[in-house]
Every structure is written in structure tokens, then in C-alpha cells.
Amino acid sequence: PRDTQCLLLLAVCHFSSGEFSRSEEVFKRLLALDPTHYGWPRREVMLFNAQRAHAPLFSFNPDQLIPAAVRAASSKFDPADPTTSKTVYSTAGSEFTPSERFNASVKALLRETLSYSGWIQLNTTGFLPNQRSHASFGLAVLAMAQRLQDHVRAVRSGKKGLLVPDSLSSHPHYQGVQREDGTDKHYFGWRDYFDGYVRWRQLSEPMDSVWWADRF
């Protein structure tokens, strides 16, 4: 109960399962034992997701909203800095109930995308299948295909393409982007396409740091 590494892994497991209040309880125990523990940015990311648990996945973008200090610390496993480690999010959040996690529509989506998941499995001795990452990748393929399809439809209808609100992009002014004059929107481009995968990859393994490098 006083092993900080075990506590970190337990907190992350609860986070992965959508059990945010339990995750917060364990993170508090961890940081009470070691206030400078490098797990502090994982807690910030967990609280960020807890506040948006029932928001559509593509209605916000963590690379824009999570402070750079938190993202950088999670990537470098930095110990807590008193100037940056104070929580920036409320502990209030929505739990995912078992019925939400395993309802019929979720199971149907996972079945439909199962065939895509093997695309990322290396056929090499020692690389064991990660079912969570496989499921996440399958859903990412579907999301990316749907957005690309919407863009193509817009182009075929005579428009410049699919308009994307800047707030949903990891970087609204990336190289090659075409903007809609006088608005806070831009046309769907290569980065918006790959944002579809990045968002699912960020959720698939909370112990991994998945951020766009140019947003630090």
C-alpha cells in the first residue's frame, strides 16, 4: 500500500476503466507519500478527461487545452515542480457505468472494427497483442475514414472541403493549412486527418505520452 509505483499503476488502471473517482483517490494517496512523484501529470490528464467523460471525442483537443508544462512533464517523467504541479482541473467528473462501457452499440462498433486492429500487430517474436490498443486502433480507422469521407463529399459538392473549427484541431495554423477568411475555422487537411488517430492513441494507454511535438 506504500509502494508508489504500484499506486501509480493502480491509479492509471482505474483511469483506463473510466473509474475517475477511484483513480483520484489513489493518486491522492500516491502524492501524499511523495509530493514530487513523476505521476503528477498523469493525474492532471486523468482529471482533464474526467471533466469531459461524456463529451464527444472530437469536440475538444487535449494538445490545445492541457498546459504545455503538464504535457512536457508527462513526456519526461519529471518530478513535481511546485510552480506547475498544482492541479488545474476540478475533481468533479462523470463516471462511466458498466452499462455504458459494455452496451450493445459499443460491442457492435468493436465487432465491426475488429478486422482493422491486426494491422498494427508486428509479426515478430516477443510482440504480444495489446487488445486495448487494437480496439482503439480499429475505432481510429473508422473515425479517420468517416472524416475523410465527409471531406470528399464536400469537395464533390463544389466546396473547398470540410470546414473544421480551430478548437478541434491540435494546431489550427499548421503548415499547408487553408483557412476560411474571417472565421475561426479551416479546411480539413493532413493534420486534421492524423488528429483522428492521435486522439484514440492518447486514450488507449494512459501511461504513454502521446502529444504533437510542435505544441510544447
Residue with more model confidence, 146 or 127? 146
Which value, to the nearest 10 degrees, does the dihedral of the CA atoms of residues 185, 190, 193, 199 take?
Answer: -90
What average pLDDT does the segment 127-146 reach?
87
Confidence check: pLDDT of 155 > 80 = yes
Q: Predicted confidence band at 151 (pLDDT cuts at 50, 70, 90)?
A: very high
Residue with more model confidence, 8 or 104? 8
Per DSSP, the three-state class of 88 is: coil
What pLDDT score was predicted for residue 105?
Answer: 83
Residue with more model confidence, 12 or 1? 12
What pLDDT score was predicted for residue 205?
Answer: 86
What average pLDDT does the segment 59-85 reach?
83
Q: Retrieve residue 132's grid coordinates.
A: 486495448
Q: Which residues of 152-163 are buried (b: 16+ CB within 10 A; e: fewer)?
A: eebeeeeeebbe
What pLDDT score was predicted for residue 84?
Answer: 60
